Amino acid sequence: MSQIISITAIASISPLGNKPSVIWQNYLKDKHFFDKQVLDHKETLVAMLDVDSKELVGKMRDSDIKYKSLDKSVLYAMAVSKKAVQSAGWNQKDVFGINIGSSRGATDLFEKHYQEYLETGKAQTLASPTTTLGNISSWVAHDLQSNGPEISHSITCSTALHALLNGVAWLRAGMVDKFLVGGSEAPLTDFTIAQMRALKIYSNSEEEYPNRALDLEKKQNTMILGEGAAVCCLESGKKENALAFIEGVGYATEILEHNISISAEATCFQKSMKMALENTNPSEVDAIVMHAPGTIKGDLTEYRAIEKVFGSRLPLLTTNKWKIGHTFGASGILSVELAIMMMQHNTFVGVPFAKAQNQTKVIKKVLVNAVGFGGNAVSVLLSL
């Protein structure tokens, strides 16, 4: 990359909470945040927002009469965006772009509107504008009273890191000096769970840790869905208030052989990681926050790709999916948040049931991976 990009703020809501100190303390606990909820006609393990985060979202919904008709995915994005922009010190005089995406979009609201249509034969007036994917960034822009470009997109599970890529591209092109990027997801609905079960990737495990992300010897798929949102504030150059710097970005897409598959050695990840490491010796990378959703093939193919790129000297490897599940389009920036926290505290957060890894040096550079259905991979190299 020709230009360093600063991350000057990051904010999230997830089952871990919405305050950095609380989130970090929850990362240090060897416990998951899954609970059972009746979805798709039976008790299902999911990772829901904590009570404090639900209250935060409720206050956002009640702050404006127009917000009462919005989907949770939109409200999540609005809540974290307000916190991030305040933390970065941005105000209405600043011109900044917004790119917040989602894999599913307004899933819950869409299902409710469609069910009502089936029952009554009529659609509500706001059914369309409140379920379009573009309304996420549009409402965030409205709430922040911003006047820069605003973009929403879906690139399945790598959506949030694609938003980061896009923000970096705008900044490097000199079109803006600041960009708010991230993802939001509220996928805990009957039909979404049913779709994941139809793919035969949802966890049926009764083990202590029901999502076995980074267990490379597991015999069954163990993905579990979680909800949440995360955004970060990007600024051109090396800022004094930076939490971390983006040193490299990489991306790649594979030719589809199956609707959800990637190749046995995840060629897309090999390409994206090599691109992100273009100006960095792989030995300088201290840790990797993997995508690792808890599926047999997903975890193993990414691991094999890492072996191809890094050889026998692998960095520390981790993921947060065993703890908060897969948040689809929001997952990439939640992984960035974990990476930044590990660097800030110089503490590696591992997976309790995975092969033991010992931290032997200061964590200064962390690579973050994300990939979506069909091999839309993104890798981002972060440093302090």
Digit-coded pLDDT (tens) for 238-255: 999 999 999 999 999 887
Percent helix, percent strand, percent coil in the chain, to nearest 5 = 35, 20, 40
Contact in structure between 20 and 337 (CB atoms under 8 Å): no
Q: What is the pLDDT of residue 133?
A: 87
- Sorted by where each begins, the domain ranges of the chain are 5-383
User: Across-strand partners of 184?
Assistant: 229
Q: What is the pLDDT of residue 257?
A: 62
- Within the chain, residue ranges assigned H as helices are 20-27, 51-62, 72-88, 107-120, 135-144, 159-172, 190-198, 267-276, 296-310, 321-324, 331-345
Contact in structure between 347 and 267 (CB atoms under 8 Å): no
Q: Find where tokens 């899954």 sit.
A: 34
Q: Is-above-0.85 flag for pTM?
A: yes
Contact in structure between 222 and 34 (CB atoms under 8 Å): no
What amino acid occupies position 229?
A: A
Residues of the chain with pLDDT under 70: 1-2, 256-265, 374
Digit-coded pLDDT (tens) for 91-114: 888 999 999 999 999 999 999 999
| DSSP per-residue letters across 191-250 | HHHHHHHHTT-B----SSSSS-TT-TT-SS--B-BB-EEEEEEEEES--TT-SEEEEEEE
Cα angle 371-156-74, degrees, rounded to a multiple of 5: 130
Cα angle 225-228-234, degrees, rounded to a multiple of 5: 130
What amino acid occupies position 26?
A: N
- The CATH class that applies to domain 5-383 reads alpha beta
